[in-house]
Structure 1
Amino acid sequence: MQQREVMSQLIEQDHIAQQDIETAMFVSQVYPPAPNWYGFLSKLLLCFGALAIACGVIFFVAANWQDMSRLIKFVLLQLLVVAPIIIYLRSKTHTLLSQISLTSAFILLGALMAYFGQTYQTGADPWQLFFNWALLGLPWVIISRFSPLWMMFLALLNLSLVLYHDALGTLLPFGINRDESLFWCLLSLNYLSLIMWELCRVNYAWLNQSWAGRLLAIATIFCANALALMAIFSYNTSWLGGAVWVFLMVMTYVVYRKIRPDLFMLALGCLSGVVIVVGWSANILKHIDDGNMFILLFLLTIGLTSAAAVWLKKLMKEFQ
């Protein structure tokens, strides 16, 4: 992206002749050369092939499920888990093939555990299935060194927390309500994961993928916004949610403006700020006429988003 931006500036300033633009694009690798396309297509076909095999296996099992005995079902599901592990052991470590093999084994482990729980009634609560699935698959997640598999692992933990609160109520021993407890737990999990990702991405190249950190940031900001809005609109929640939101906004500015510039993270912080300011204003203006209130909120939203866009555009030029 940085090369593309530099080339765009050079073309706009007429530093490159019109007839030499295409050549310059290939030389600067803004247009990927043929070997890059070959590698991309190989990885794409490998991923699609693994997905097709997984879907074929699922359809085969589903079509013949009623005709199989319990023993055959267990043997088949266990073989489906073992097969990707064999492929992983016979392939080079930390290659895309080995990583996809472990990812397939991790997914199929969930199917095996689901059938095991259904057969022997090991747990009536769905959160146990997803938590145990994540726990048993953790060794594969660690040795895979594959960001998508780590994101899948964290998604299972988030889902386990949601289902736990839905089934058993609050997890925190502070006497707070279920919804607030859920968002506090999700915020803690995702924010700690984001911190660990930021600390480790410098030393581990396989973690240096912006999309993973941005997913964690989106989950963190969503939970922080929910807690802040609860503090604004509900009298049964504490002001601590708003204080934590302010802290996260300050940290977002310091880290992604001063330490490691990232325009996406700052844009996410601006969006969060617009939501909270508009929500706080709506709570203040709730006693006036609905029509006037919506007009004022509309004007406030337009003003805040315009100011954020101007600031982000200025930062984009600065980061270049």
Structure 2
Amino acid sequence: MSVEDEFLSVLTDGIVHQGILLGETWESLCQRKYKPPPSGITLVITTRKKDLTDAEVQLAAQLYQEGLKDNSELDLDDVMQHVLDQREVKQSKWDYTRAQKLQSFFTRLSKPVLVRIKRKTLPEAQAKPFGQGKAQTEEMSALQFATYFGEYHVVQALLPFEPQHATQAFLDACREGYAQIAQYLLESTTADLDIHCISHGFLLATEHEHLQVLKKIQAVQQTRLDTLCHGSAFSGFQLGQRYIAVAVEIALLKANSDILRWLVELNLMFDHEWNHCIQYGLRLACGIGKSHIYIPVLLLLLEVLAPKVASVALGSTTPHDMKPDDIERFKAIKANLLYDFYSNHLQNGTID
């Protein structure tokens, strides 16, 4: 086995030959390999098949059989939850051990190497973490691989060896919701992330609803959400907007009130951006069957920019004798009335 293949085998916990992971597809690897939840999320057992790996199921079964000797009323779900709770601690220790092993290869590797993993052909529209459309083989850097699986200690070890992949790793950390990794890359002088990469990561974290990542990004000095969107990831009207305004629109579309409220409290928006976002929210709220989703977040915006309008909307009630099928129409009409009221007063400069 070459040095490169040995290095990649340690990285993937698998067998690699000529840079290709053997005996596994990307999909089966994701089923086998532990991937921690996004920062701020706590896992609770729902089903054994979904939440535990095969090895963890075997461990839980062993603990359950041993526990029955002392407690005949022992609940298997409680045992599985215990195994799940211990997973993060054990995985962190294992990641630290692997990080040390990987560091021992750096003096023998002449350059960073990529790992290639076969994958099943996927529909064009299906989101993939690394691929560019349909592909039979996924190719990624070691740093990107470790980031996707939330391996903080491994990322720390790999960054000095392949800093050229730091930008993509940061974007992946934002997308996957790993705040600790995102913060490490932000604060590292080795990563050297530019303001547009940081802001792009901010939008990815907003799109995937990772508030903990957003807070880490906003906390660093080099974050500039007041700049215009720039780069191949953006097109059309987004290129004429600032990152903060696009983030608010994304939070509106996701109907995520926690993120939207946090973004609003940053107080970085201009008046014309507020106007555009409220009109966007109104269009969302007027959609058939969508008003119950978007009116609450629309009112959250109005509470900040137009509290009188919001108070009128919040004070209105739905008639008790209204049929369920008509409630959505009523909410849509209310949203349209809000739009007319808001637009007229905004143009006259008399709102609130």
Give the TM-score normalised by the residue count of structure 2. Answer: 0.35
Q: TM-score, normalised by structure 1?
A: 0.38
Going by fraction, where is helix more abundant, 1 or 2? 1
Higher strand share: 2
